[in-house]
Amino acid sequence: MPDADLVRDQDRLRTFIEAHPKLFVLTGAGCSTDSGIPDYRDTDGGWKRPQPVTYQAFMGDLRTRQRYWARSLVGWRRFGNARPNDTHHALARLEQRGHARMLLTQNVDGLHQAAGHRQVIDLHGRLDEVRCTACDNHLPRGAFQQMLVERNPAWALLDAADAPDGDADLDGRDFSNFHVPPCPACAGVLKPDVVFFGESVPRERVDAAITSLNDADGVLVVGSSLMVFSGYRFVAAAARDGKPVAAVNLGRTRADPLLALKIERSCADVLAFIA
């Protein structure tokens, strides 16, 4: 028999979507857990593991870069092969029906686009690109993976548990002999083309998101605790403007007092009605 509570929650969300045909959709890590990508936070919004590397540490310390790229070499094998799940496909269908004017994602996995979603702003960038911090040269992450493996063949034989955003748990290892390739164009420092903690989101992305939010008549949050201000600020702005906000998320969100509707269930389960 169908789960009566689930059906009721789906009906509540369906009513919200139908009442707001120009939705601004904001997504987080909870969208991608069913694709095998771990999330950062527990149901209370707290960190499950040590906080991610900061921009200042990555740029200022070779040892931090060695540790980051060694773990990424191992983690990329599965992260780079992740595929969209039912949540990504449901949101793409929502867009196809004309109910989602823009999707702003805090994720860096590109899975919304892989599911066919067209209007996407990658607020924190994409992990499938590597950028030189000196000359702005860009490399596909797959090509950089080959560079890492060629210079560190022994590390390519390792395996480890997955961590969020293409990371892998390799604690306790000595990273001092790991060779980090420089930029092939200028020998500068390469970093993933994502926004690290302590780094600012590019202004053009924020402006584009604000423009889309101003055009929307409601906000749908999917799979985000909104604990990071870069995402929370859009919900706060919507609330200030009197635009209703609905959230589908397992556990507490930073915006709980601002929500017109909250459903604490698996994203894929609740969105399954968008067929």
Tens-digit pLDDT profile for residues 213-256: 999 999 999 999 999 999 999 999 999 999 999 999 999 999 99
* 7 three-class SS: helix
DSSP per-residue codes, 115-153: TT--SEEETTEEEEEEEETTT--EEEHHHHHHHHHHH-T
Band of pLDDT at residue 27, cut at 50, 70 and 90: very high
Determine the Cα–Cα distance for residues 111 and 134; give it in Å rounded to an integer. Answer: 29
Q: Please give the structure tokens belonging to residue 139.
A: 């490399």
Q: Which of 99, 124, 138, 179 is catalytic?
A: 124
Helices 62-79 and 141-151, axial angle in degrees (round to 10): 120
Angle at 51 between CA 117 and CA 245, to 5 degrees: 45
H-run or E-run covering 14? helix 4-19
| Phi, psi dihedrals of residue 207, rounded to the nearest 5° | -60, -40
pLDDT for the residue 161: 84
Q: For residues 85-90, give the mean pLDDT.
A: 98
Active site residue 179: no
pLDDT for the residue 270: 97
pLDDT for the residue 177: 96
Rg (CA), the chain: 19
pLDDT in tens, 121-153: 999 999 999 999 999 999 999 999 999 999 999
| Phi, psi dihedrals of residue 170, rounded to the nearest 5° | -120, 30
Category of 198 on φ-ψ map: left (φ > 0), alpha (ψ -120 to 50) or beta: left
Check if the beta carbon of residue 244 is closer than 8 Å to that of residue 218.
yes
Question: Is 238 exposed, middle or buried (CB count within 10 Å of its CB: 0-12, 13-18, 19+)?
Answer: buried
Q: For residues 76-96, give the mean pLDDT.
A: 96
pLDDT surpassing 90 at residue 1: no
- Across the chain, mean pLDDT equals 94
pLDDT surpassing 60 at residue 208: yes
Determine the Cα–Cα distance for residues 162 and 78; give it in Å rounded to an integer. Answer: 8
pLDDT for the residue 248: 98
Q: Which of 89, 129, 142 is nearest to 113 (CA)?
A: 89
As a dihedral over the C-alpha atoms of residue 98, residue 99, residue 105, residue 110, rounded to 10 degrees, the angle is -40
Lowest-confidence segment of 26-40, 60-74, 144-158, 160-174 by average pLDDT: 160-174
Residues 6 or more apart in contact with residue 241 via CB below 8 angstroms = 214
Antiparallel, parallel or unpaired: β 218-222 and 245-248: parallel
pLDDT surpassing 80 at residue 76: yes
* 271 three-class SS: helix
Determine the Cα–Cα distance for residues 192 and 164; give it in Å rounded to an integer. Answer: 14
Band of pLDDT at residue 91, cut at 50, 70 and 90: very high
Check if the beta carbon of residue 192 is closer than 8 Å to that of residue 53.
no
